[in-house]
Amino acid sequence: MSIELIKTYSFALIKEMWFLCAEMAPYLLLGMFFSGLISIFVDNSFIFKHIGSKNFLSVLKSTLFGIPLPLCSCGVIPVAATLREGGASKGSTVSFLVSTPQTGVDSILLTYGMMGPVFAVFRPLAALFSGMFSGIIINQFDDDRHHHVNSEKTIKEEKEDLRIRLVSGLKYGFISLPSDIVVPLFQGLVVAALISVTIPPDFIASHFSSSPLMQYTMLLAISIPIYVCATASIPIAVALLAKGLSPGSIFIFLMAGPATNASSIAIIKNILGKKTLYYYLGLISFTAVLFGIVLDSIFKTSEFSMPDSLHYHDHSGIFSLVITIIFLAILINSYFLRFRTNNKVQNTDLSADLEQISFKVDGMTCGHCQESVETAANSFHGVKTTKVDLVSGEVNIYGIGLEEDSIKKKITDRGFTIN
């Protein structure tokens, strides 16, 4: 490949990524703002109080709570593990695991902006149905005895001043949340740009358009093992739509991709057991294909057309430029934030009398994972402070009379692996 051809492809790739960022920026910034507000009023203690029982109402509530929460397929795991540990039924836990990573207020807004109102409405409805259906089925086949734990003993609820909570919510929306999705989002942008630049416009249409079943099977097989969050899946979906794949097959990717990945599958097996894992994967696959077929039928039998946003809007204006730069600045800051130690231990906390245990935890990929490990360790009597490095996985716990085996067991019960 000549130098000139490499330069041409590189320029086209960068240009495509810029247009994708410009397309996404206003919707994701708005989504980050609303996600911050949601984090203020819907916390873990609120969820714990409502989904403990093994009945239809708990499954419904866990699904409804999960849909707007901006948790990715890795971030939802420690939350679900904590819910299970606190007494949530397997059905409620599975419904939360199925519905939560598929959507989030940020991804719903971005779906509307880049893929149109049909996808934006259909996506949370599919998450609602699949979450409820999966939870009900799991509860029917779950023969484990269920023990509800008082959520007040599991979660310590602290009331803070509204101004402090608003600041905390904005920090979550514009700092913590972006730091959780920045890596998969960048990967999604690269993949989407590569698809747009390298695949000929008629390639997919000429090879796969005659076989919807082949499209469904191909997208499902790709979706289950790879890691892609609900937001990062959107630019890839837009690029694949532009190349000729059907809306239904793309929806399978949007639904199954965020709800599963190879690492989360292993963790779910540890939390809920092998039998429930098989049900989990089967139910996601079934509902994803079902809704893919339904969506294709909607586009074929109605007057709905593919969204105009597949052909990017004009982003040459100063307002679009400023919004895009702000968006990129937030992502860059969030990326470097991952390499800072968020839980610095003050020297005054580390007197010579304190014991220290150290080990490495595998499976932490976002701030929610880090928080889950910290919470598990800090819940033990005698623990004074816990320092968790998200990047390296290093965990240092300081206190008096530390129960190392019990602490490690509680961390592994939340789906992590200890070296």
What pLDDT, in 10s, does the model give residues 212-266? Answer: 888 899 899 988 888 788 888 899 888 888 888 889 999 999 999 888 877 678 7
Q: pLDDT class for 160, splitting at 50, 70, 90?
A: low
123 shares its domain with 189: yes
Residue 147's pLDDT is 44
Q: Which of 276-285, 296-305, 347-356 has the highest mean pLDDT?
A: 276-285
Residue 290 has a pLDDT of 95
Q: Is the pLDDT of residue 148 over 50?
A: no
Number of other CB atoms surrounding residue 203 within 10 Å = 12
Q: Are residues 297 and 360 in the same domain?
A: no
Could you tell me the residue range of the domain that residue 375 belongs to? 347-418
Tokens standing for 379? 């819940």
Let me know whether 359 and 307 are in one domain: no
Q: Are residues 380 and 243 in the same domain?
A: no
- Report residue 315's pLDDT band, with 50, 70 and 90 as the boundaries: low
In whole angstroms, give the CA distance from residue 376 to residue 416: 11
Considering the domain boundaries, does residue 297 fall inside one?
yes
200 by DSSP, 3-state: which?
coil
Domain count along the chain: 2
Per-residue pLDDT, 300? 85
Within a domain: 91: yes
What is the maximal distance between C-alpha atoms in the chain? 73
In this structure, the answer to whether residues 323 and 371 fall within a common structural domain is no
Q: How far apart are CA 218 and CA 230, in angstroms?
A: 19
Q: Which of 134, 150, 149 is nearest to 62 (CA)?
A: 134
In three-state secondary structure terms, 344 is coil
- Is residue 366 within 8 A of residue 74, CB to CB? The reply is yes
> Which SS3 state, helix, strand or coil, does residue 73 take?
coil
Report the CATH number that the domain containing residue 351 is assigned in CATH: 3.30.70.100
As a whole number, mean pLDDT of residues 57-78 equals 80
- pLDDT > 90? residue 187: no
Q: How confident is the model at residue 288 (pLDDT cuts 50, 70, 90)?
A: very high
Helix axes 262-272, 274-301, angle to 10 degrees: 130
* 325/356 same-domain check: no
> Mean pLDDT, to the nearest integer, of 352-363?
84
At residue 152 the predicted structure's pLDDT band, cuts being 50, 70 and 90, is very low
Q: What is the pLDDT of residue 47?
A: 61
Domain end point (choices 302, 332, 362): 332
What pLDDT is recorded for position 154? Answer: 42
Residue 15 located in a structural domain: yes
Dist. CA 70–CA 130, nearest whole Å: 18
- Length of the chain counted residue by residue: 419
pLDDT score of 127: 93
**Are 362 and 285 found together in one domain?**
no
Inter-residue contact 27 to 109 (CB < 8 Å): yes
pLDDT above 90 (res 348): no
Are 325 and 352 contained in the same domain? no
**C-alpha radius of gyration, the chain, whole number:** 22
Residue that terminates a domain, selected from 291, 308, 332: 332
Averaged confidence pLDDT in the chain: 80
Q: What is the mean pLDDT of residues 297-314?
A: 67
pLDDT of residue 155: 42
**Final residue before a domain boundary, out of 298, 332, 366:** 332
pLDDT at 281 over 50: yes
pLDDT at 368: 73
Calpha distance 339→329 (Å, rounded): 16
Same domain, 71 and 188: yes
